[in-house]
Amino acid sequence: MKAAVYTRYGPPDVVVQIKEVEKPVPKDSEVLIEVRAASLNPLDGHLMRAPFPLRLMTGLRKPKNTRLGVDVAGQVEAVGRNVTQFKPGDEVFGACRAAFAEYACASESRLVMKPNKVTFEQAASVPVAGLTALQGLRDKGKIQPGQKVLINGASGGVGTFAVQIAKSFGADVTGVCSTRNVDVVRSIGADHVINYTKEDFTQSGQRYDLIFDNVSNHSFSERRRILNSNGICVLAGIGGAGSHAGQWARLGGSLKALVASLLFLCAGMPVRIAEVALAEPAITPFAILGGDNHARLIPGRNALAEYPARLTFFFAWSFPSADVIPGTQPY
């Protein structure tokens, strides 16, 4: 079968190749999936470029794991002998290893049935981005009905889910985005939209109960100023899908905010880091949203042959949201 493979670190157009590899065989508790769609995440870009601290885990000179991709949607091809929830022919989605391929294996516990009215592309956009938004708002942010919630980076992959999920919890949602995405953020349910090219949300005078920050482009003191006394700031990213000039400064600022929160907790700004626990069923965001998913999708045109080019485009920090590429069959 064909798969996207990288054997050294660097930009995707240089290191990613489409090669013939052995078709995987599912283990006893695994499911073999014919991949119909897989989505790109910032994690894929970080693994390809792998700054030195990350290489301590992924391999110093070259990657230990040469395959990419986590989010997947497709049709069950075969199942391991201990699998009871799925059978060949079932349409599923969830998290797996090496999703950028014609076939991939996933643990039975990481998959769920795809709703009939949801496309493979929509389903593939959910697991990492949708669960990051849901778990960040619900578990870290303790979101409650009627709260004022600000989502910085509201038009990105996680941000678009965060806007919809926050609204489903009954919050009053303010989304922050660029000029070109104002209409999109408003269309997915934001009550208020701030165009950051024209207005600095930290200078507006409005206070919030919860900040869900996908960009981390403001200081600890600036964010604390717009939080209510018992407000929470959840850090969910540093902006952009790949390496960019401001990433280390933003990462440092986020860590500084976390430390400052721990030292000055009594001053009233708990800072929490959004994490994704893929053990939670990927269907949960759909259930929270009543079966709807308005993720922004730009599907590919030519299956795996397009992966290196799409990876380059996505990780050039120019892509506004989740990029989903159809798998073995174009849709």
pLDDT in tens, 227-250: 998 899 898 875 544 444 444 444
Instruction: Say if residue 301 is exposed, middle or buried (CB neighbours under 10 Å; 0-12, 13-18, 19+).
Output: exposed
For domain 2-125+297-326, the CATH superfamily is: Medium-chain alcohol dehydrogenases, catalytic domain (3.90.180.10)
- pLDDT value for 197: 94
pLDDT tens digits, one per residue of 236-287: 875 544 444 444 444 455 555 555 545 554 445 566 666 666 667 666 776 6
- pLDDT value for 10: 82
- pLDDT value for 289: 65
Q: What share of the chain is helix, strand, coil (3-state, %, to 5)?
A: 35, 25, 40
How far is Cα of residue 143 from the mean position of the Cα atoms in its chain?
19
Gap between the Cα atoms of 159 and 175, Å rounded: 8
Q: What are phi and psi for residue 129, nearest 5 degrees?
A: -65, -45
Q: How confident is the model at residue 298 (pLDDT cuts 50, 70, 90)?
A: very low
Q: 306 - beta bridge partners?
A: none
Mean pLDDT for the stretch of residues 84-110: 94
How far is Cα of residue 290 from the mean position of the Cα atoms in its chain?
20
How far is Cα of residue 297 from the mean position of the Cα atoms in its chain?
13
CATH number for the region 130-273 comes to 3.40.50.720
Domain limits, the chain: 2-125+297-326, 130-273
**Going edge to edge, which strands form the sheet with 172-177?**
192-195, 172-177, 148-152, 208-213, 227-235, 271-273
- pLDDT value for 60: 84
Q: E-assigned strands of 256-329?
A: 271-273, 323-326
- pLDDT value for 162: 94
Mean pLDDT for the stretch of residues 292-296: 51
pLDDT tens digits, one per residue of 143-190: 999 999 999 999 988 899 999 999 999 999 999 999 999 999 999 999
- pLDDT value for 320: 38
- pLDDT value for 242: 43
Q: Residue 233's closest CA among 244, 245, 221, 251?
A: 221
Listed as own residue / partner, the contacts of 167-172 with beta carbons closer than 8 Å and 24 or more positions apart are 167/191, 168/288, 168/289, 168/290, 169/137, 169/138, 169/143, 169/144, 169/145, 170/144, 170/145, 170/146, 171/143, 171/144, 171/145, 171/146, 171/147, 171/210, 172/146, 172/147, 172/148
Higher pLDDT pick, 303 / 140:
140
Contacts of 185 (CB under 8 A, 6+ apart): 154, 155, 159, 160, 163, 175, 177, 193
Q: Which two tokens stand for residue 111?
A: 């998959």
Mean pLDDT for the stretch of residues 203-213: 93
Contacts of 261 (CB under 8 A, 6+ apart): 220, 233, 269, 270, 271
**Model confidence at 313: pLDDT above 90:** no
8 A C-beta contact, residue 140 and residue 158: no
High-pLDDT (> 70) share of the chain, %: 72
Q: How confident is the model at residue 303 (pLDDT cuts 50, 70, 90)?
A: low
What 3-state DSSP class applies to 156?
coil
- pLDDT value for 236: 83
Mean pLDDT for the stretch of residues 79-93: 96
Q: Residue 166's closest CA among 270, 320, 289, 283?
A: 289
pTM above 0.85, yes or no: no
Q: How confident is the model at residue 7 (pLDDT cuts 50, 70, 90)?
A: confident
**Model confidence at 304: pLDDT above 90:** no
How far is Cα of residue 77 from the mean position of the Cα atoms in its chain?
26
Higher pLDDT pick, 316 / 63:
63
Gap between the Cα atoms of 290 and 168, Å rounded: 9
Mean pLDDT for the stretch of residues 304-311: 65
pLDDT tens digits, one per residue of 114-145: 988 888 988 898 888 888 999 999 999 999 99
